[in-house]
Structure 1
Amino acid sequence: MELVGVPEHLRVLAENVVAEAEKDPRVLAVVVGGSVASGTGDEYSDLDLVLVCTAEGQPECLAEAKEFAGRLGPLLASFTGEHVGEPRLLIALFGPPLVHVDLKFVTPDGYRDRVEDGLVLWQRDDTVERVRAESTAQWPQPDAQWIEDRFWVWVHYVAVKIARGELFEAIESLGAMRSISIAPLAGIGRTTRPAGVRRLETLAPELGPALRETVATADRADCLRALQATVDVYRTVRERSGVQVVRRTAAEEAAVDFLG
């Protein structure tokens, strides 16, 4: 079996997934997504797979997901994806050599709600083509107003944690603010597939020095400095995004005043 475009370190596992799918009449197709599908895969890429199953067979396939993964290769650990809001997902680690594989088991109707079309590695029939003809893949896009409505509340929250000496909570929250507020705005016009701070170094390299200032150590003064830097970077990306929002000016002024 020749899987064109699949990086060498992922090929054996991809071939094994297809072989197992072919033997199971409940499985209709195997679709790969992520960097492999976009042609940007490298030696660090994961294997992101969607297994489209019959509506009747999908619950059983999902219940047997760990057994399915165990037949693919040396399975070291696996768990389902409730923590990311995706119970249909099995996250697995194989090796050595270590390979991360995501296996999502969906029905044809479930496949309609997708973030990307991906690349079909194998299919039993034309189910995937029919679903794609009737629906459109949509990658979640940032909502600048949603961010603005929350950002200044978060600034106050972190400032209070710093004042209390809850520094690790403050550090955790600063990271979340980079991922949830700054990165999405910085990526507008630069990527159609925003994913938190992933690849932010290459998407917005000019922000590198300023973003480094938003990283804090477990020191009260340093956390406060990083929070102020976070405010500065947010204001910068809000302006550069070109997206019009209703600014929460009163909250902004009050939160900045609270920082001192």
Structure 2
Amino acid sequence: MKYPHSLPQAHKQLLDDIIRVFSADPRVVGIGASGSFASDSMDDYSDLDIVIAVEPTHFDGVMKERFQLIDKVNGRVSGFTGEHVGEPRLIITMFEPNTLHVDFKFVSLPDAAVRVDDTQVLWEKDSCLTDTFATREPHYPQPNAQWIEDRFWTWIHYAGTKIARGEYFETLEFISFLRHVALSPLALQQAGLTPSGVRKIETRLPDFAEKLRKTVALPEKASLISAMTQCIEIYRELRSKESVKKDTDAETAAMAFWDKEFSK
């Protein structure tokens, strides 16, 4: 396997050790790397996103021994499972001496075909992982503009009630949700880019990132009202570029509530 040019030396040393350990386990049939490794866009702060493909008959056994296997790689200082991101097959780790973050995703070989981005094969038995990847193209989840429209104005009313009640930190969290789930994915999709929330939005869509600046608020009423107003303006601009059936009743009701509560 030819490593990408952007792979830092510290990452390479750790990756070599990961391949050494897992390729020696007869139950493992393939090792892959996705994310910035696959797109050759790594830097000193990048994670290593590793896929460990396992012979199906041995998958349950490997899952029970995941931490023991990872501990054969030199330098682990922490590790935990990924239920909080909806992926229990994931082990999230940190390694010294260079304080590197590595995500290990353990999959039964047929399940390796289901992936959100390209995955480069680092090692495999025969061509089993390459053949598995060939059965299915990567697919990153795309935002559904109609799904967002059907919910957006109820979300706006909800945020308004939180501000009116004085739940300012709750509103801050909700504005972050709107940026991550609705605003940024739509903007990225419309620009022909992978709609990965707000990740690297500053460099991927700098003009849009400037608009998002105005959605960043303090836990204060006036600041939150201003940020939410900007969220609404951004959304309406994005919606104008989509073919959706507008939920005019909900929009009218939500905005009437805002006018009543905050135009005093």
TM range (shorter): over 0.9
Distance 1:54 1:176 in 2: 38
2:62 is matched with 61
**CA deviation vs aligned residue, 1:206-244 (integer Å, no higher than 9, x gap):** 2233211111111112111111111111112222xx321
- 1:144-155 equivalence runs, <5 A: 144-155=145-156
- 1:4-19 equivalence runs, <5 A: 4-5=4-5, 6-19=7-20
- RMSD value over aligned CA atoms? 1.6
Cα distance change on mapping 1:208 and 1:167 into 2, 3 Å: same
Q: Is the 8 A contact 2:4 2:40 kept in 1?
A: no
Task: Tell me whether 1:228 sits opposite 2:229 in the alignment.
Answer: yes
**CA deviation vs aligned residue, 1:94-121 (integer Å, no higher than 9, x gap):** 1232100000010122112111231111
TM-aligned CA deviation for residue 2 of structure 1: 6.9
**CA deviation vs aligned residue, 1:142-167 (integer Å, no higher than 9, x gap):** 11111111111111111101111111
**CA deviation vs aligned residue, 1:62-114 (integer Å, no higher than 9, x gap):** 22111222221221211111111111110111123210000001012211211
Distance 2:247 2:4 in 1: 50
Instruction: Give the residue type in structure 2 aligned to 1:76.
Output: V
What stretches of structure 2 of length at least 5 have no aligned partner? 260-264
Identity %: 38
Instruction: Give the residue type in structure 2 aligned to 1:249.
Output: T
In the alignment of these two chains, the number of paired residues is: 258
Distance 1:55 1:218 in 2: 50
Q: Is the 8 A contact 2:35 2:118 kept in 1?
A: no
SS in structure 1 at match of 2:133: helix
Task: Tell me whether 1:92 sits opposite 2:93 in the alignment.
Answer: yes
2:243 is matched with 244
SS in structure 2 at match of 1:29: strand
* Comparing 95-104 and 132-141, the one that deviates more: 132-141
* Comparing 71-80 and 47-56, the one that deviates more: 71-80
Cα distance change on mapping 1:190 and 1:73 into 2, 3 Å: farther
1:190 is matched with 191
Distance 1:209 1:50 in 2: 36
2:21 is matched with 20
Cα distance change on mapping 1:189 and 1:232 into 2, 3 Å: closer
1:201 is matched with 202
> So what's the TM-score if we normalise by structure 1?
0.94
1:175 is matched with 176
2:117 is matched with 116
**CA deviation vs aligned residue, 1:37-82 (integer Å, no higher than 9, x gap):** 1111111110001011100112222221112222212212111111
Cα distance change on mapping 1:114 and 1:171 into 2, 3 Å: same
SS in structure 2 at match of 1:197: coil
1:46 is matched with 47
1:133 is matched with 134
TM-aligned CA deviation for residue 4 of structure 1: 4.7
Distance 2:135 2:212 in 1: 42
Q: Is the 8 A contact 1:7 1:36 kept in 2?
A: no
Instruction: Give the residue type in structure 1 aligned to 2:215.
Output: T
SS in structure 2 at match of 1:88: strand
Q: Is the 8 A contact 1:116 1:137 kept in 2?
A: yes
Cα distance change on mapping 1:246 and 1:112 into 2, 3 Å: same
> So what's the TM-score if we normalise by structure 2?
0.92
Distance 1:36 1:182 in 2: 27
